[in-house]
Structure 1
Amino acid sequence: MQLDPAICSSARLARDRRFDGRFFTAVKTTGIFCRPICPARPPLEHNVTYFATAAEAANAGFRPCLRCRPDSAPGSPAWGLVSTTVQRALKLMRSEREAQSVEVLAMRLGVSSRYLRRLFGEHLGVSPLAVWQAERALFAFRLLRDTELPIADIAFEAGFNSLRRFNGVFKQIYQRTPSEVRRERAAGGVAGARGSRIRLYLDYRPPLDWSQLLAFLGARVLAGVEQVEGEVYQRSIALDQFRGVLRVTHQAEKSRLVVEVQGEGAGAALYLVNQRLRRLFDLDADTEEISAVLSRDPMLEKQLALSPGLRLPGAWDPFEYAIRAILGQQISVAAATTIAGRIVARYGESFVDDAGDEHWLFPTAQRLEGADFSDLGLTRARARTLREFVAATLEGRVNFAEPELDDWCRQITALPGIGDWTAHYIAMRGLSMPDAFPASDLGILQALGSGAEKAKPKQALARAENWRPWRAYGALLLWQSLKSGD
């Protein structure tokens, strides 16, 4: 990942938010690394060096700046430029709270541990362990500054099962102990969220079309589970033993989302909440790179001008979304959402929050084992497909753990009643695969057609070949063009 020093220099001197998270500036004279938007006086050019990721800077011996807080920087789009295997490894590392050994990680990816270490060295310049430690220490710093969770709880939530190990890694990166950071926060008068309601901040690189994201999700809200009111998104969640509700609002002036997690033991779910919401709202999208590729197509260029800050709406849980996608085959969004609501009412789990309000959780594969789905308004063939999908998930024949697009499509279409459209649509939204493309979608064919004549799937695939690796965003723009009348 080569950085252009001239571009980095111009961006940091201008404190350009568009470059936040794209690179980090390390100052040789102070041993500190900063975000491009750091409010401190800019150092002289001959005293700085640039790194593509916070993990690289920390691994090189620089400590994070306490003013601009690299822990709050948007996710690095540099990860998207590395090999597919490294991308899958990074996603697997972030999908679970606890650390995985390189050997286990390599086995899940189907490669040798030696090969995986070599890939990380070639593409990122650091080992898998160094990436994990840097990212978890940065996340722990955020919790130390923004919440009043006990330090032992923060260590556990950041993935460290040993408080001694957590203190050692944290001090190595920040050159401070967690207790010192907590005392500094108290001396500075920083108030942290406490009790059963904890607040997280999710930064992003602007622009972000929050209203359009909510409009898309709002048309598909699942009664009892999700809610969109005005500019607020809310849903019930279950992570391990935690049951609670999260509420997401937008602070456009600070380029961040504000997340309130409510429920007893909320601190034990924060790392996964952070990761899942970043994917749900596509906060780490490299919008400039995506626009640069898609704007080569005149039709998409016109739609991009109407949709600054385009994001690909994801899903909270891949299994939940796959069920909903299967329900949506050959019926309207509204009808599929209604049937999904019936599944929640019959097989879901309910709980009551601190205010006495009832919430529902989408049923897991385990709760749906043995369900027949026959009297929910489904055809017998669709009910059979759902049963087969649930069984395949429980047996491990369907793997949600970041498979490659082609592998995913092969395994899911092997099930009866699931075709290419469903496979790509689940990949696109349920798994956040940016190059998924449901070429047979009627909306896509209509948007690419001429007059009343729809395009053919082969024609759609041929045209979308020039949109790689961002075909999913191209599909989203085509759907939006139908609504805008263009």
Structure 2
Amino acid sequence: MKIDAAVCSSARLARDRRFDGRFFTAVKTTGIFCRPICPARPPLEHNVTYFATAAEAANAGFRPCLRCRPDSAPGSPAWELVSTTVQRALKLMRSEREPHSVERLAERLGVSSRYLRRLFAEHLGVSPLAVWQTERALFAFRLLRDTNLPIAEIAYESGFNSLRRFNGVFKQIYQRTPSEVRREGHTGRLKSSASTTVRLYLDYRPPLDWQQLLTFLGARALVGVEQVEDCEYLRSFALEGCRGVMRVAHDPERNRLVVEVSGQEGGTGLYLLNQRLRRLFDLDADTAEIQAVLNEDPLLKKQLAQRPGLRLPGAWDPFEYALRAILGQQISVAAATTIAGRLVARYGESFVDDSGVERFLFPTAKQLAEADFAGLGLTRTRANTLREFVDATLDGRVNFAEQSLEDWCTQVTALPGIGDWTAQYIAMRGLSMPDAFPSSDLGILQALGSKSLKAKPKEALARAEQWRPWRAYGAILLWQSLKSGEQK
């Protein structure tokens, strides 16, 4: 992938945090690659080369710096510049803990394995396996330095079912064994008497409007499942057969979120949890690129100036959010949240967390297979739509796997009771598709209209054309621009 060496040089010499994760500096004399914010003395320009991703640097034979820790760098927006097929492949690779063969990955994408390898070589300069191994080794390094987890458990959490293979891949990338890294000492290790509590750090490129994220999520928090208080987000979850609770706080001085995870005995799916939280809080967004496009619209430019650090609030689970979107059709946010809370209380599984508080889990499609949804405050038509959606999820007619926005909308609107607004809204938040745009949304039409006359959906679509491929962010800004009224 092509990058501008002059821009990279200026950014690394200035240690500009806006470029953190956008590229990596490899030093030829030491064989190490660093983030642009590395505190070490900057090497001479003729001794460095630049890579767009950590996987490329590792594949070229450079090992990660132990001071700036590339394992903690925010996700590279360079991934968004590659072909659609490669983007889908990367998201599939990150959506599951265990690796799959290139052949199986290619089959799920509908292409040949030879073609997929060629795409990775062309766009990323590395193979799918090299990308998977590098990312998992970087994640394992974080767990070795930041947690007390046993090395065997770290191997499993990082996606390696073989400790021998984990040791081999890790040593190849870091030129150290996991045991040597562990002996070198931790920084930021959680000191707690609760052996089931783990602390993770999620870095991001500033700015980040954390308060706006909490305000948005707090207005939609499900009782017993989610909670926003004291500038923190708390949620119950189930991953890898384990139930647990996560608490997310903001550390603005170090441009990161601090996540405390407590669960029952056994693994907690930390790699998947890490990926889901990065999507939930949109930590890998290329805010500079998004702002450059949206600033072309005067209304959005004004809103961006007032609240920099725009992010697209995502969802913990696509199925969960799809049901919540269906519940929210033609009613207020508060009413939809109340009904969703009733659904959780009736059909969701409950458990007691480490502090003795009862928590609930949002029910899965299997748990709702026989649900009639009576008595929740739904119309008969809406209850039928929910049942149809659950059935379609179970029989494969609805597929949450990576796909295009158009394919998703076509797939979902084929079901009775689901229109374009619902499909676009699920895509926007449930699937984190940045170009989704619910053009018929009342809040959007109010924001784009005058005081006495709302805009029409066709007018909203026409205006949003200039926001592509970031129309979802434009929708968030329009909702924020409303001084009063319901927001979707």
Give the TM-score band, short-chain normalised: over 0.9
Q: What is the aligned partner in structure 2 of residue 334 from structure 1? A: 334
Aligned position for 1:226: 226
User: Are 1:327 and 1:382, in contact at CA under 8 Å, matched by a contact in 2?
Assistant: yes
Structure 1 gaps, min length 5: none
Query: Using the alignment, how far apart are the partners of 2:380 and 2:167 within structure 1?
Result: 57
Letter in 1 for 2:444: I
Is the CA contact (8 Å cut-off) linking 2:33 and 2:64 kept in structure 1? yes
CA deviations on 1:201-252 (whole Å, 9 max, x unpaired) are 0000000000010000000000000000020100000012110100000000
Deviates more, 1:64-73 or 1:101-110: 101-110
Q: What SS does structure 2 have at the residue aligned with 1:100?
A: coil
Partner residue in 2 for 1:69:
69
SS where residue 276 of structure 2 aligns?
Answer: helix
1:100 aligned partner, one-letter code = H
The one-letter amino acid of 1:120's match is: F
Please say if 1:100 is aligned against 2:100: yes
1:444-483 matches, cutoff 5 A: 444-483=444-483
Whether 1:178 aligns to 2:178 is: yes
Alpha-carbon distance, 1:185 to partner: 1.2
Deviation at 1:327, TM superposition (A): 0.2
Mapped contact 1:408–1:427 kept (Cα < 8 A): yes
Question: RMSD of the TM alignment (CA)?
Answer: 1.3
CA contact (8 A) 2:74 2:283 kept: yes
Deviations 1:119-177 (A, max 9, x none): 11111111110000000000000000111111111111111111111111000000000
Q: Is the contact between residue 71 and residue 138 of structure 2 (CA under 8 Å) also seen in structure 1? A: yes
Aligned twin of 2:365: 365
- In structure 2, C-alpha distance between the alignment counterparts of 1:171 and 1:192, rounded to whole Å: 28
Does structure 2 retain, via aligned residues, the 8 Å contact 1:148–1:192?
Answer: no
Q: 1:394 — aligned with what?
A: 394
SS of aligned partner of 1:312: coil
1:149, 1:267 within 8 Å by CA — same for their partners in 2? no
| Secondary structure of 1:96's aligned partner | coil
- SS of residue in 1 equivalent to 2:166: helix
Indicate whether 1:306 and 2:300 are aligned: no
TM-score, normalised by the number of residues in structure 1: 0.98
Is contact 1:197–1:266 with CA below 8 Å preserved after alignment? Answer: no
Aligned to 2:251: 251
1:411 is aligned to: 411
Q: How does 1:105-124 map to 2 (within 5 A)?
A: 105-124=105-124
Distance (Å, rounded) in 2 between the aligned partners of 1:471 and 1:269:
32
1:33-52 equivalent positions in 2, closer than 5 A: 33-52=33-52
- Name the aligned partner's letter for residue 14 of structure 1: A
Q: Deviations over 1:60-101 (max 9, x none)?
A: 000000000000000001011111111111111000000011
* Per-residue deviation, 1:189: 9.6
8 Å Cα contact 2:146-2:188 kept in structure 1: no
Q: Secondary structure at the match of 1:185?
A: coil
Alpha-carbon deviations, 1:304-326, whole Å to 9, x = none? 10120000000000000000000
Report how far residue 484 of structure 1 moved.
7.8
- Aligned-partner SS, 1:365: coil
Q: TM-score, normalised by structure 2?
A: 0.97
The 2-side partners of 1:218 and 1:260 are apart by: 19
Read off the aligned partner of 1:291 and give its amino acid letter. Answer: Q
Letter in 1 for 2:438: P
Contact persistence 2:365–2:393 (CA under 8 A): yes
SS in 2 for 1:368: coil
Q: Percent identity?
A: 82
How many Å separate the matches in 2 of 1:192 and 1:338?
38
Inter-partner Cα distance in structure 2 for 1:395 and 1:28: 54
Q: Is the 8 A contact 1:146 1:192 kept in 2?
A: no
Q: Does the 8 Å contact 1:95/1:275 carry over to 2?
A: yes
Q: Distance in 1 between matches of 2:244 and 2:5?
A: 46
Per the alignment, residue 274 of structure 1 pairs with 274
2:351 and 2:360 in contact (8 A); partners too:
yes
